[in-house]
Each structure stands twice: as structure tokens, then as C-alpha cells.
Amino acid sequence: MKYIYPTAAIAILLLSGFYFIREPMVEHFEDSATYRWLHKKVADKRLLDDMENLNNWRSFTSSGVHVVDARQVTVTLDSSSSVATIELSKQFVHDGSQSLLMTTPTRLANAAPQNGRHWGRSGVRRLFNGEDWTKYNRISIWIYPDLPGFYTTALDCQLFNDGQVKLPAIFGQEGQTSLTLKNHEWNHVVWEIDNVARDKITAFEISYGLSGSYPEEASKIHFYFDQMELEKTDADKVEGWDVAPEKISYAHTGYQTGAQKSAIANNINANEFKLINQDNGDVVLNKALQKVSSHIGNFEVMDFSEVRKPGNYILQAGDVSTKPFRINDDPYERTVWKALNFFYAERCGMEIPGIHGKEHEDWLCIHGDKRMVINGGWHDAGDLSQSFEGTEEITYALLSMAEKLRNRDEDPELYNRVLEEAKWGLDWILKTSFGDGYRNTGSINSRRTNNIIGDDDDVITTAQNNPLANFEAASVEAFGYRVFKNIDPRYAAYALKKAKADWQFALDGLPSVKPVKDQWRGTFDSNNVEDELPSQIILSSLAMWKATGDDKYKEIAIKQAPLIMNAQQRKRPDWDTPLTGFFYTSTAKERILHYCHRGREQAPTMALTQLCDAFPNHQDWIKWYSTVTLYAEYLKTIAKYTAPYNVMPASVYMDTEYVSVPESRRESFSKQVLKGVPLGKGHYLRLFPVWMDYRGHFGTILPQAQALASAAHLRGDLPSAQLSMHQLEWIIGRNPFSASTMYGEGYDYVPLYTPSSGDMVGGLPVGIESKDEDDAPYWPVQAMWTYKEIWGHPVTNWIWLLKDVEGPAIVDGQANGPVTFKETTTGQLITVTPNSSTGHFKTTMPEGKYIISSDGTEQTQTFLPAASYHLECRADKLLKYDVSQNITSNGGITIKLKVQGNGSHSFNIRTDNLSLASASKQITLQTGTAQSFEWKGRITDKDTPWVAVVIPDGDMSHRKEIRGAVWEK
């Protein structure tokens, strides 16, 4: 559901601190994987327990969870000490004469753990005598939760196996699943266990997290269980690159009009495919399947990029077909609304219907003898934690989207909604500062508290003076000033005041920052001051410079750039498959930069791109530009290894890196690295990150996509923009499982791990993982942390990326008559007529490369999605030019320009790793006559790629790039 608020009205409401209370969106259940699972054909089944007696049932309570050697260990009390009770009940019965009733308090009597987690778990355990369940692959059970006052509830299930593979597993996720249940009704739960070891089952456990109660919730709760069965069904595909049998892998949300459009299959019994208009049944395209081979296997690809007519379509190949999807200028807009719904549902501290009331008013941050209540912002994940960095990134992404929508001035309804959610985050960032450099930098919370300050369920954290956090705060506060200054000048002025203070606190704190030398980036906490701080200083300082115009911020920003540039691999390495353009964690180049679970790989590229945009005439501009270029080309190169999906590989790893990780992880680390693609000299390209318990790669591929999109707009590079879009498509269904992973979007979306807040439309999990040491996608049915856990950062990166790739280009310009745009691959013609009196025209244009004709002249132009362009189409003003190159084996180079236009013009060339006799050329042109000229020179270092940018008449908006390397000839 959408909500329309006039701009003036929302400004007044935001000014007063009022926020709308709205019902969260509800998913279309029939499109979910759960609906499909419940309607699967059952080939065979066996009763495990009808709950007509308590034989073999035990209750238990665990008093906490401890981590020993990366393995979760629960401290379990025996049945006589358990706070949970079990009995047979006739009150709620699904089958037979009675059910099993578990009654438990929501917390233990002792004070809550100081780490912010819950008191432990309480549950029931069904004992088995080493049974072999391999004949069956699904558990079915009926559960009736009776939790007075609760909106949401969840239970965890755990299998215990004593066969060749032991369960629980060392990292906990295998053989476990989490169930989100509807209160006060019977829930039919089915859990496919085809991937789970089950040859010697000793127990099946169902448990509740003792997380306490909100004021309106009961302190004692009840669960009824009935009719537990084993079943045999056709199991879902859960592993591997090949597409699931009898399925087509495609983008469920759809495809933008000018985008590359393709779908993928394996072993389809057909030679051709059809694209069918779902609205009228017409076959709009009949085309041969393409056979494609790559590092990951053999595939059948259906390419329908030439179809640009908006509509609803299905693909059909033989007896296999897709569900409907869209082609139009902006199919992803609805995912923005759903992402906003997710953030709204994750808000802390205000009533969210169906999720919680006003809560966590006893969540405190202390600083000496000062303390403040820090509820607000957004819950960070499947639990109730806060993350300052997460809130900062969400707010920054939303402000970026708001700025885009305001500049395009085409969707005030969405703009107002984005603005409202952004202010919710900015309010929290402003609120949680003590004003002296110390602030709340986030805290863990798994508890539902009673809003009474001073008792034993309070969550308390200690303020920190962290330069990175203060730079991040200044970025958002300064950005907020720009966005709100014409809406709420008082609020904007306060944000800028706080930004100036936080930026200075951060700068003053830099001498205290110590490099992190031995930190392994495969752990959950992947902050690293060596590589992330320079990027953040640039982004923060540029935000301050844009807000104030003070050149002191400009100077600090520019000073940081070499710390990024000099951490890049620019020289060709002596590997069998050499790669350049990737980053190390520092200028010492001792460790290659890679992330696990949550990446920030977008930051260096975004920082340098913003420097290029802000200071186009700076002497180091071409160095910043070339660094961005080499990194983008690196990403485009490694993406070929996962064709035809083209999902981003993780990183290059060295076979010696395992020595710097904790000893308990070394063997697995080494095995994972060696499963990567050999590049030579002990280097391997991993398609999935090297990781342990924290798994899921949406937090790595989306930041890479953001970097690509940022680079694409700097360079005018459509392939980079298209590759970034493929990462969205992977997440939304164009993956081997043909499943959308955004809850409530597309088809076959699965239940996610969200025990504290329930299922939320627009939520994204941490992402698809790999199994054990393998390097292939793994998406088991079970819902467990972290890969299927909802976190804020994937949705943040989704919004942040859509800011740069969602929607058509906006094109305006001047012309003396009609302007025709001919798309070069399809030949589609679009004609625009300018205003008869002003000669001005403005239109939207799908992404692509076009030949533009007007007034007897012609030029070519590439349009990127979500970009804006100004064209000069009058014959006496038009300047058309093309750039080409020729390289000799000894490093000599000729760069040639072919130019058409009228009058005198100057061309300047900026180069990196090229030595030219002169940088500028002057030329006088006559209409209708093409002229050519050349630059000659040498490549400075033949082992390093070179980059050049040609700029006509000092107009950076019409620059053209040319690049290469000696070994690429």
C-alpha cells in the first residue's frame, strides 16, 4: 500500500517530530515457497508421534549460549530444573484426542546477561533410539502458539544425529531451522531435511528463546504440538550452479526497457524459447536457445534483450515456463516501496502494528555519570540489536535516494516516503551523541524489555569516541542539511552544527587510531581502519565541503586519496592468469582486501568518484579516475567466471593467508582457498567468500555492484551498469534456485530467520552461501542465521544501488526540429519534438547506445540508467567525435580523433601511464566535413595499464575514455 503526503504537509509533520503509524505490507502468500511446500505431493509418510502420551518427551532449559572454539555450546539444565513444563492437553487439539502442551516463562528469574542477549532457551525434546530417517526427507508437525499480547513468535528446531556426520554441527546452522508462527492458530510446519544428516537420529528439539516480554505481553506462554510425521517428497534443489530441474532462472521483478534481458536453464527439452505477452497470449519472440559454457558449467540461455515494449510476459521453453514478469522503464520501483516497508517494520521505539508497541524505553547508553535512552533508529537484524554504522548507512542510502527523486521531480509520493524514513534515521544519529565526541556506537540486544529504567532487564552500553563513527555521523548530518535545508531550515541548521562538531571530533581523534595488523576479514566484525578510514574521511569531508564551501574540508579529502590509490594492484603480477585493479588493505600491500558477510568494497570507488565529480580540474583528477577505471575493469573481468549469471566473485586469496587466522579456522580456511580458481603463484579466485559461521554473500556482491554503478556513471560505461544490475537479478530470482530472496517480492521467496520481529515484506537475508569448503551456491530449505537472517545492510545496499541504476535516463537539450533516437542493437526509433519557440526538449530514454539525428546532423550517445544528459542537437553547435588507438609492441601509442562540427574547438587529453608530446590540440571545423588528428607518445610502464580521457572545449560532460594494456593486444 502506498501513502500520498503533500510536500507541505509532510514538511510540517516532520518538523513537529510526528511519524505516521501505518499497517505494514502483507505478502501474497500464494507466491511464497511456504505455500508451494505445503502443496507438494507426499509420496510416503510415517507417524513419529501423535502426542497421545508423554513417552520419550522431555522438557529442558538452557541457561545461556557460550562460544567455545567457534562452536556454540548451550548450558542445559536437566528436566527437574527446567522452567518449561510439559503435559497432555485437550484445550487445542489438531488430530486425535489431545496434544502436547509446553508452558514456559518468557525469561529466567536471574538478571539478564550483560551482553544484551536473552536468558537462554526453553523447550521440548523428543528422544529417538538412533533411528535411520534417510528414506524420508521432510518433517511435518502442527503447532498452536498461545502467547497473550504477542504479535509475533518463533521457535527453533534442532536435529541430533550420531551417525557419520554429527549434529549439531560445529558452526550450528546445519540441522537447524527457525519457524515464524502465527499466534492463536494452528500452524502446519513442514521442514525439508534432504540435505541434513539423518542416518542415526537421537533427538528432535523445539525451543523458544527466553527473551522477556514487552509491557503488553504475557510473562508465561504456551505452545501446543500435535501430529509429528516423516514424509517423502520431491526435494528442492539446494546446491550447485546448474538451474533447478524444470525451472527457468530469471529476474522475477522484471527487466528495465533498455536492459540486457536473459534467462537461464539446464537440460531443457527444447531447441527454442518463446516470449509470450501474458495479457493477450501473443508470442512476441520465438528464438533459439543459446548454448553457453563457462568455468561453472554448461547452460542454455534465452536472450530477449531486443524486446523493449512495456508489458507483462512469460518465457516458455518446451514444457517449462516462468511466472509473469514485467518489462518497463522502472520495474524495480515496487522493490523500493517494499524496502521502505522493511525499514519501517524494523523501527525501534515506536508502535509498529503487528510487530511491537512502543518499546525499549529502558535501553541506555552511559558516558561517565551521564546516560541517555537510545531507542530509535532501526533494529539491525533478526534480533533487536542496534548498529550505529548500520543506521548511518541506511540513512545515507535513503538521503541519496531522496536527492535523486527530488532532482528528477517525477515521483513526489515516493520522495515524501523516502524522506520520512531518512529523517527517522537522522533523528537517531543526532539524538545519540553526547556532544563531546562520545556517542552510542551500537549494541547487541535480544531482549523484549519492560520500559522501566533501573531493573534487571535493561540493556546498557557504553559510549565510545570513535573517529570512524564520527566521520560517518558527519557525512550523514551534512547530507541531511542539504536535503532538509529548504524543507525545515531549523532542523537542517542543527544537523550542520552537529556535523561540524563530529567532523572535528573525528579529525582530532585520528592520532589515537592504531592500524589493525592481524585482523582476519573473514570474521563478522570486518571493520579495518587501514582501508576504510581514508575512504570515509573523503566522503565525510566532501559532504562537509558541499554543505559549507569551506576549502579546509576539500584539502583533507584530497590528502587521503593516495592512501587508496597506492593500495591498488596496478602492475601486472607474474601469475598464470594475471589480474590488476584490485585493492589491498593498505599501501603496504601485504593483504588483499576481501570481506565476508558484510562488505564495504564500494567505499574506495565512491570516494574517488566523488572527488572526480567535485574537483574536475584538479591535477590529480586523472589518477583518481584511472584508479576507479582499473577497479571496475577488474570486476568485469572476474565476473566472466560466473557467466551466464555474472554474479560477482568474492576476491583473490593467497594460499598462505590461513596462517594469520585463528588456529581453529586454519584448516577450513586453507581448504576453501584451494577450492577457488587457480590464478598461479599461490593465488586463487574464490567465487564465494572464505568464511566460517557468518555466511551469505549479498553483503559482498551488492557493495561491488555499487562500486560498479558509481564507476559506470563516472566513465559513461554501460557494461559496468549492466553488470551491477545482474547482481540485483541474482537476488531476485536469476539464480540456480529460480527463487526470489526478497520476502514478499517475486516468487518462491522463503521464510527468513527473523525470530524477534516476524516476516517483513521487503526484507533480504544476508544471502546465498556455500556449503562447507565448496565454492558453489548453497540455499538449503532451513532458515538459520546468518545466511537466511534478515539484516539491515542488504536492504540498505539494495536502495543505495537502485539510486544509480533504477529507471530510465533523463535527456534534455536544444534542437531546431524533431530529434530521432535510434537504438543501435534493435533499431528502435524514438522521436522527440522540441518546443517550437524555445527549441528545448526533455524526455526519458531507456538505457542503451543510440544514434541521434536532427537537422541533418548525426551523433552517437550512450545513455545509462538513472542518469541525466544535456544534448546540443543544432547543426551549428553540434560536435561529434570518435577516439581510437594503435599500440606497438615496444610501447609506442597513437591516439586518433575523428571530428565533425563547426567552428574552432580545443581538445585536451589527460593521461595516466602515458607520455605524450602535447596534451592539447586546436582545430577549426566546417559543417559536413570530418577532420582527424593524432596524439603520439609512449606507454610509461609497459607492465601497467594506461588510461586516457579526451575532453572537448573543457566540457567534462562530453569526455570520452580510452584505455588499454600492452599485454591485451
- CA–CA distances in Å: residue 770 to residues 240, 505, 740: 9, 42, 17
CA distance 683 to 575: 8
Q: Which residues contact 105 (CB under 8 A, 6 or more apart)?
A: 83, 122, 210, 219, 220, 221
256 to 9, 334, 435, 710: CA distances (angstroms):
33, 13, 46, 19
Q: What is the dihedral of CA 231, 232, 233, 234, to 10 degrees?
A: 150
**Residues in the chain with pLDDT values less than 70:** 1-18, 64-80, 171-172, 515-531, 969
Would strands 809-814 and 868-872 be described as parallel, antiparallel, or unpaired? Answer: parallel
pLDDT of residue 726: 98
Copy the grid coordinates of residue 313: 510476459
Separation CA 652–CA 637 (nearest Å): 12
Q: How far is CA 689 from CA 107, 544, 648, in A?
A: 37, 35, 11
Three-state DSSP at 376 gives coil
Tens of pLDDT, residue by residue over 438-454, are: 999 999 999 999 999 99
Q: Give Cα 867 to chain centroid, integer Å.
A: 21
> For 79-126, what is each residue's pLDDT tens digit?
558 999 999 999 999 999 999 999 999 999 998 898 989 999 999 999
Q: Which amino acid is at 782?
A: Q
Chain Cα centroid distance, residue 296: 23
C-alpha cell at 929: 566535413
Give dist(CA 558, CA 565) in Å, integer. 12
Amino acid at 128: F
Tell me the domains of the chain and their CATH numbers: 41-232 (2.60.120.260), 254-328 (2.60.40.10), 333-805 (1.50.10.10), 809-872 (2.60.40.1120), 880-968 (2.60.40.10)
Contact status, residue 852 vs residue 829, Cβ threshold 8 Å = no
Q: Are 813 and 782 in contact (CB under 8 A)?
A: no
Sheet holding 880-887, edge to edge: 880-887, 892-900, 931-939, 914-916
Separation CA 616–CA 612 (nearest Å): 5
Q: Which three cell numbers stand for residue 485?
A: 535545508
C-alpha cell at 665: 579456522
Residue 570: Cβ-neighbour burial (10 angstroms; 0-12, 13-18, 19+): middle
Closest CA to 609 of 478, 466, 720: 720
Q: Which residues pair with 909 in a beta bridge?
A: 950
Asked whether 187 and 144 are in contact (CB, 8 A), the reply is yes
What region does 894 belong to: left with phi over 0, alpha with psi -120 to 50, or beta?
beta
Burial class (CB in 10 A: 0-12, 13-18, 19+), 885: middle
Distance separating alpha carbons of residues 553 and 548, to the nearest angstrom: 9
